[in-house]
Amino acid sequence: MERAARMEHICATIKALAAARVAETELWRNAGDKSPAHMLAKRTGKPVSQAQQQLDNAKRLRSHPKTDAAARKGKLSPEQQAAITDAAELDPAAEDDLLDMANDASLQELRDESARRKAAAEDPTERHQRMHDERNVRSWTGPDGAWNLSAKGTPDAGAKFMTRLQAEADAIFKQARVEGRREPTEAYLFDALIGLGAEGETMPKGGSRGTKVLVRVDLEALFRGRPTEGEVCEIAGYGPVPVSVVEELLAQGDTFLAAIVTKGQAVVGVAHLGRSHTAAQRTALRWLYPICAVAGCSALAREIDHRHDWVKTLTTRFEDSDPYCKHHHNLKTYEGWGLVEGSGKRAFVPPDDPHHPNNVNRGERKERPPPNVA
């Protein structure tokens, strides 16, 4: 499978490079095509938008020889190539870091980091305005006859909408459970979307059922008005935003907003209206891990798990907690899998792996006393 994937990547790279070369000639015009992308789409049976992305990426590869070399060897998929070269166009130093990251990270993680590097290299206000200017909603009928909907806009607008939509979906889920129905989360979100649109209902201000928009911002960036290298200013799960957007959100005083103030990778403050300490811990964890803590997994974190059994420690410590997606949480809970020792995103191994925390220095570790409550 891996060999076939590398062959596929090599062929896709050759195809894109060849198409980029053709785009520099008049062959596409002589053939009566509207653009080089239309010619490529017609010849390969791909959508025009995808063909245009391939052409753009092939052109960028010329300026980034390390990524070009990895692509020609089949080490990178077209999507990975695009994520790396897109960021490297604005921040050349990002190329090496993203190439290393591509070896182990999921595509979504690579894209998220690429977005951060691009945001750091651009003027945040201009970038945000461009997203606003390009906002759109499109709908179409798929090959199976189903209706599809796509929306594009600024991260803060998307976060507000999805937060409040999630509140409605949660209510539908609770009612479905009472009625004994079990459906995917996405189905409840669709029902919430259609219900709100069809009936003209207004969503509860602030997400009254406990959902919230989570802002991640470095303390210095908040005071300075703009993040510098290594600092963060973003809406967790949605992407970077200007500090002005964060200031605007904070000024609204909405109960659905939670703000994490950080210094580097350390959480130095949690602002959370009307919530207990436990809720603050959960908010801080969502800052560190908006997605599953398992290396290579880009699914949203759904469960927060005690690294050390609560029955043994009788405490819930922030630094002893790991967020998991539902799948990996089930593997840990029912099949004994576990994250290797350390912090942050890391490997997830079965119970018989020598790096499993239960097998590391077995017999040498002493039962540690319960830690103080953090």
pLDDT in tens, 158-190: 988 988 898 899 999 999 999 999 998 899 999
CB crowding 54-89: b at 16 or more within 10 Å, else e: bbbbbebbeebeebbebbeebbbbbebbbbbbbbbe
pLDDT of 1 above 90: yes
Taking only the tens place, the pLDDT of each residue in 223-246 is: 777 777 777 788 877 788 888 887
Q: Which sign does the torsion angle of CA 262, 345, 315, 334 carry?
A: positive
Domain end (from 258, 288, 318): 288
| Residue partners of 260: CB distance under 8 A and separation at least 6 | 214, 215, 216, 217, 236, 267, 269, 270, 271, 283, 284, 286, 287
pLDDT of 59 above 80: yes
Domain end (from 233, 258, 288): 288
270 plus 229 within the same structural domain = yes
- Considering its fold, how many domains does the chain have in total? 4
6 plus 117 within the same structural domain = yes
Q: Are strands 348-349 and 136-141 parallel, antiparallel or unpaired?
A: unpaired
310 plus 271 within the same structural domain = no
282 plus 301 within the same structural domain = no
Distance, in Å, from the CA atom of 358 to the CA atom of 254, rounded to the nearest integer, reads 44
Residue 279, pLDDT score: 58
Q: Report the 10 Å Cβ neighbour count for 318.
A: 15
Q: How far is CA 173 from CA 169, 210, 245, 291, 299, in A?
A: 6, 14, 32, 22, 20
C-alpha closest to that of 190 among 176, 180, 178: 176
Query: Does 315 or 321 have the greater pLDDT score?
Result: 321
Tell me if 279 sits within 8 A of 334, measured CB to CB.
no
Distance, in Å, from the CA atom of 71 to the CA atom of 6, rounded to the nearest integer, reads 9
Residue 201, pLDDT score: 44
C-alpha closest to that of 325 among 290, 288, 284: 290
The percent of residues in the chain predicted with pLDDT above 90, rounded, is: 26
215, amino acid identity? V
DSSP string, 181-197: ----HHHHHHHHHHHHH
Residue at token pair 């130095």: 268
7 plus 112 within the same structural domain = yes
330 plus 348 within the same structural domain = yes
> If you average pLDDT over residues 112-138, what whole number do you get?
89
DSSP string, 34-62: SSHHHHHHHHHT--HHHHHHHHHHHHHHT
Residue 228, pLDDT score: 78
> If you average pLDDT over residues 70-79, what whole number do you get?
93
28 plus 106 within the same structural domain = yes
114 plus 145 within the same structural domain = no
Please indicate, yes or no, if residue 126 is contained in any of the structural domains.
no
Please indicate, yes or no, if residue 229 is contained in any of the structural domains.
yes
0.85 exceeded by pTM: no
Residue 151, pLDDT score: 93
Please indicate, yes or no, if residue 48 is contained in any of the structural domains.
yes
33 plus 59 within the same structural domain = yes
Q: How far is CA 313 from the centre of its chain?
A: 33
Please indicate, yes or no, if residue 129 is contained in any of the structural domains.
no
239 plus 338 within the same structural domain = no
Residue 191, pLDDT score: 93
Residue 255 pLDDT class (50, 70, 90 cuts): very low
Per the structure, the complete domain to which residue 88 belongs is given by 2-121
298 plus 279 within the same structural domain = no
Tell me if 235 sits within 8 A of 159, measured CB to CB.
yes
Distance, in Å, from the CA atom of 292 to the CA atom of 298, rounded to the nearest integer, reads 6
Please indicate, yes or no, if residue 97 is contained in any of the structural domains.
yes
Tell me if 332 sits within 8 A of 340, measured CB to CB.
no
Please indicate, yes or no, if residue 271 is contained in any of the structural domains.
yes
pLDDT of 207 above 50: no
Please indicate, yes or no, if residue 204 is contained in any of the structural domains.
no
Please indicate, yes or no, if residue 33 is contained in any of the structural domains.
yes
Residue at token pair 């043994």: 312
284 plus 295 within the same structural domain = no
